Structures are given as structure tokens and as C-alpha cells.
Structure 1
Amino acid sequence: MIPGYRRILYTTDLSSNSALAFRHAVSLARVYDAEINILHVMPALDSAMENYLAAAMGEEAFAALEDRNREELTVTIRQRLERFAAEELNDHPEDLKRVVGIEVHYGRPAATILAAADRLDPDLIVCGTHGKGLVEHTFLGSVAEKVLRKSVRPVLVVPIGRRREEEASR
């Protein structure tokens, strides 16, 4: 059986080049008459930094500040993603109806993406990768690679930023 794509999960880190991956998601959604969910994950603070801030500010003050700022940031990012989708689809407003959900979560990006995929049950996950060098990749890893390795669903990884860097060096 040839696979079809009815639900696409597009993940974004909000970088300026991540629009390329979104365009791929929209292109596939057009072909398959699919819906798109947009997901952004705010990375959690390093536990050492959390402990330091909680100790410096006091546990309760830090927790209250973190909750308040997380809520405000979530609203701001959701609005930014709504504007992003509207701007990207300005020439094709009919495609904006394909965007059926925008989610902003807080946590470890790869694990949160995979959890969202389990909940939303997309047929395809679309994400971009910055194509970092071997040293950065070896030590830091890549969210896209972690999702690709652990996902039980197909993942389309779109290299972003690399082509411009290569063209600039010529």
C-alpha cells in the first residue's frame, strides 16, 4: 500500500530559516489534502541553572516567576507562529485552513516532539536541521536526528541554512 499523508506535524525552532521546512509541509499538505499541526518546544533550563536560580531567588519566588514568564512566552510564541503561517501563506490564503493547530510546549525538544506525535498521530513529521559541523553534532546531537532515530512515524528532515552558507563561500 502506498502511504498517504492526512496529518502532518511541522516542528519549528523559530529560526529564520525554518520557513523552508514549513514550505515542504505545506507542499505535501496540498498534494495529499492534509492538515498541518505546528509545534514549537521551548527548551527546558539546564537543571544546574534551575537549581542555582531557585537557590538564589528562593524556591517559591523562582517557581512563580517561571510560571508567569512561561505563560507569557507561550502566548507570545503562539501569536508569532500564527503571524508566521499567515505571512508564509499570504499568496495562498486557502492553505491557511490546512493549519488546524498550533502548540507551544516546554521541555526537552525531541522527547516533547515525540510525545506530541503520539498524541496527534500524524502520518508525517516535518522538521528542519541546521546541519552543524561534525564536532557540534557529535557533542550536542540534533533534535531532528533524535526524532528521526526514535520516531515510529516517517520523518522528513529538511536541511536549512546550509545551502546559503555554501553559496556564500563560493
Structure 2
Amino acid sequence: MLPKILKILYPTAMGAGAPHVFRYALSLAREYGGELHVVHACEPLSPFGQSLVELHLSHEDAEKMHAEAREKVRAQLERQLRDLVEAEIGRAGGDRNLVASLRVLEGQPADIILQQAEAVEADLIVMGKHRHTALGEALIGHTASRVSHRSSIP
């Protein structure tokens, strides 16, 4: 029996290839009568970065500043993600109802992708997988490699 592909997770770093990959995810959702869940992961400030800030501010002030900055960045990234999705749906003549959720979450990208795949009960993960080196060679990206090795979802 062929698998049903009803829930598709589209994780994106919102790079130059994001529109191209999104169109594939949208096409699959339309073709299979499924829904698309879009997620972007923001890496948290490293402990080293936090310690640098705390050299100049009290711990409480640093925490407050981090919380405010995280919320501003999250809101801005969410707007950019929504704009990307809206623009590509418009270009493709797609149905906005195919996009069931759109999230910007803080954490390590591969971990966030795997958590979201489980949370939405994804049948398929559609993500860009290549990056190019200075020599022009195509390599599988670090996040895509980690997700493909750790996920049971194709």
C-alpha cells in the first residue's frame, strides 16, 4: 500500500533557495490534498555570547535585554517568513489554505525540525539540502544531513 502524504513539514533557513524549495513543498501539498507546516529555527545566543554581554550588564539586565531582543527578532523573522509564503503562493497560484501553520522557534535547527515533524505528525519533510563550497562543489548541508540521519520520516 502506498503511503498517504497528508502532512508536510517545510523547514527553511530563508536563504536564496527558499522560494524554490517552498514551491516543491506547496506542489506536493496540492497534489496529495495535504497540508503544509512551515518552520524556521533561530539558533540561540551561545553561552560565550551571553557571557560577553554579562561582562557589561548585570545578569538581570542581560536577561531582560535578551528576552526583548529575542521577541523582536522572532517577530521580524515571522513577518519575513509570512511574506515569503504569501509571495510564493501568489506566484504559484496556490491555495493559502494549504499552509496549516507557520512557526519561528528558537533552538538548534535539526532539533527543532525533528521536534516539529513529530508534533505535526508529518508524513514528509521537504527541505533544501545542498550548499555550495567556494570551489563550486555541492555538498549536503549540515542541518539536512543531521535531519536525514536522525529522522524516520522521508
**Common fold by TM > 0.5:** yes
Deviation string 1:132-170 (CA, Å, 9 cap, x unpaired) is 449xxxxxx61111011001211xxxxxxxxxxxxxxxx
One-letter amino acid of the counterpart of residue 121, structure 1: E
Equivalent residue for 2:100?
100
The residue that corresponds to 2:85 in the other structure is 85
SS of residue in 2 equivalent to 1:67: helix
Once the 2 structures are TM-superposed, how far is the Cα of residue 92 of structure 1 from its aligned partner?
4.4
- Aligned AA (1:128): G
The secondary structure found in structure 2 opposite 1:2 is coil
4+ residue runs of structure 1 moved beyond 3 angstroms?
Answer: 91-94
Structure 2 matches for 1:5-24, cutoff 5 A? 5-24=5-24
Q: Once structures 1 and 2 are overlaid, which stretch shifts more, 28-37 or 42-51?
A: 42-51
Counterparts of 1:93 and 1:57, CA distance in 2: 50
Tell me how large the CA RMSD over aligned residues is.
1.9
1:71 is paired with a residue whose SS is helix
Does structure 2 conserve the Cα–Cα contact (< 8 Å) formed by 1:89 and 1:96? yes
Secondary structure of the 2:2 match is coil
Paired residue for 2:138? Answer: none
Q: Equivalents in 2 of 1:19, 1:91: separation in Å?
A: 10
Task: Please state which structure has a larger fraction of its residues in helix.
Answer: 1
TM-score under structure 1 length normalisation: 0.80
Q: Deviations over 1:39-83 (max 9, x none)?
A: 000112222122222233221111111111111221121121111
Change (3 A) 1:105 1:26: same
Superposed, which structure 2 residues align to 1:3-82 within 5 Å? Answer: 3-82=3-82
Aligned length: 149
Deviation by residue 1:102-134 (Cα, 9 ceiling, x = unmatched): 000011111111111111111011111342449
2:52 partner letter: Y
Tell me which residue corresponds to 1:128: 128
Task: Answer whether contact 2:9 2:122 (CA < 8 A) is retained.
Answer: yes
Q: CA deviation at 1:16?
A: 2.1
What CA distance in whole angstroms lies between the structure 2 residues aligned with 1:130 and 1:45? 25
Q: Is the 8 A contact 1:86 1:93 kept in 2?
A: no
